[in-house]
Amino acid sequence: MQKICNQAIAGIIIGLTGCAAMQPNEPAELLPRTFQAALCREVNLDYLLYLPAAYHDREQTWPLVLFLHGAGERGSDLQKLKLHGPPKRIAEGIQFPFILVAPQCPQNDWWTAKTDDLAALVDHLIQTHRVDTTRVYVTGLSMGGYGTWGLITQYPDKFAAAVPICGGGDDVLARFRLESMPVWAFHGAKDPIVPLHKSEEMVNALRQAGNPRVKLTVYPDAGHDAWTETYNNPEIYDWLLSHRRQPSE
């Protein structure tokens, strides 16, 4: 369990004063005020953690991949996280050259409402494990695809690249914050749950912002499951690991 504390200054709050005692001919007065407070709350996320086979043998830092599951894997059973994505591949015996963290979203909650929690989890792993902070990545499917877009939009300086699958997000905000973020999005053309245009809107927003490192792969015959083929493709992991976050990004 970890606490998130944000020192916030809300800026100038404009208020009316002296209304009760104001005489009919006296003008109302607007006085500037500033509100400041530290907001703290507890964060509690269960997760699966994978360390590379050579993690304990080599004194080096390692890339970190954050995987966000879909709505069907919410709850308190971590075994459900092995149904899809990189956790499934690891359960099948595949070995990856990176640290993988797969948190579980509580039942009836959404990743888009937990971007601060996820950022705190990443910070925790950076503090407690040998993580290469220039090679932190995020990927997710469906609800996790939305979470991926939301997380990189909220924390663009934390991640080196992202792979959102059948997701969507705030294309207006993304246009201003993700002008240089490498993103490879995936979607099924026949998706009946999350329409293809959700990914198209996000990718087009980044292209309009001049981002040369965004691309979209559409599976013409796929429905909502655009993730099985994606996560079975070794090229996805090579592409992620090829990117490093520059200090100025």
Q: Average the pLDDT over 25-44 and give the result.
A: 87
Angle between helices 115-128 and 143-154 (to 10 degrees): 70
Q: Does the global pTM surpass 0.85?
A: yes
pLDDT, mean over the chain: 91
Q: Tell me: do 17 and 86 sit in the same domain.
A: no
55/29 same-domain check: no
Query: Is residue 96 one of the residues assigned to a domain?
Result: yes
Does residue 131 or residue 59 have the better pLDDT? 131
Q: Establish if 80 belongs to a structural domain.
A: yes
Q: Is the pLDDT of residue 38 over 80?
A: yes
- Residue 163 covered by a domain: yes
Report which secondary-structure segment, H or E, holds 176: helix 171-177
23 and 92 together in one domain: no
The reply to whether 30 and 132 lie within a common domain is no
Asked whether residue 219 is domain-assigned, the answer is: yes
- 20 and 94: one domain? no
Q: Do both 139 and 27 map to the same domain?
A: no
Whether 62 is covered by a domain: the verdict is yes
Residue 21 lies in domain: 4-38
Domain tally for the chain? 2
- Do residue 109 and residue 206 come from a single domain? yes
Please tell me the predicted confidence (pLDDT) of residue 9.
Answer: 46
pLDDT digits (tens, 9 = 90+) for 173-187: 999 999 999 999 999
What gap in Å lies between CA 215 and CA 200, rounded to an integer? 10
Statement to judge: residues 21 and 128 lie in one domain: no
Phi, psi of 30 (to 5 degrees): -100, 120
Asked if residue 206 has pLDDT above 50, the reply is: yes
Residue 28 sits in the same domain as residue 147: no
d(CA 40, CA 62): 30
**C-alpha to C-alpha distance for 21 and 114, rounded to whole angstroms:** 46
Q: Are residues 105 and 141 in the same domain?
A: yes
Any idea what the CATH number is for the domain that residue 69 is in?
3.40.50.1820
Q: Which residues make beta-bridge pairs with 100?
A: 50, 65
Inside any domain, residue 248: no
- 141 within a domain of the structure (yes/no): yes
> At a CB cut-off of 8 Å and minimum separation 6, what does 168 contact?
145, 146, 149, 194, 198, 199, 201, 202
For 127-162, the pLDDT digits (tens) are 999 999 999 999 999 999 999 999 999 999 999 999
The DSSP symbol for 186 reads E
246 is a domain residue: no
d(CA 236, CA 96): 12
Q: Which residues in 189-225 are b (16+ Cβ under 10 Å) and which e?
A: eebeebebebbbbbbebbeebebeebebbebeebebb
Regarding whether 60 and 33 lie in a shared domain, the answer is no
Q: Are residues 8 and 106 in the same domain?
A: no
Is 242:97 a contact under the CB 8 Å cutoff? no
Name the residue among 80, 88, 8, 76 with its Cα closest to residue 40. Answer: 8
Rounded CA-CA distance 29/18 in Å is: 8
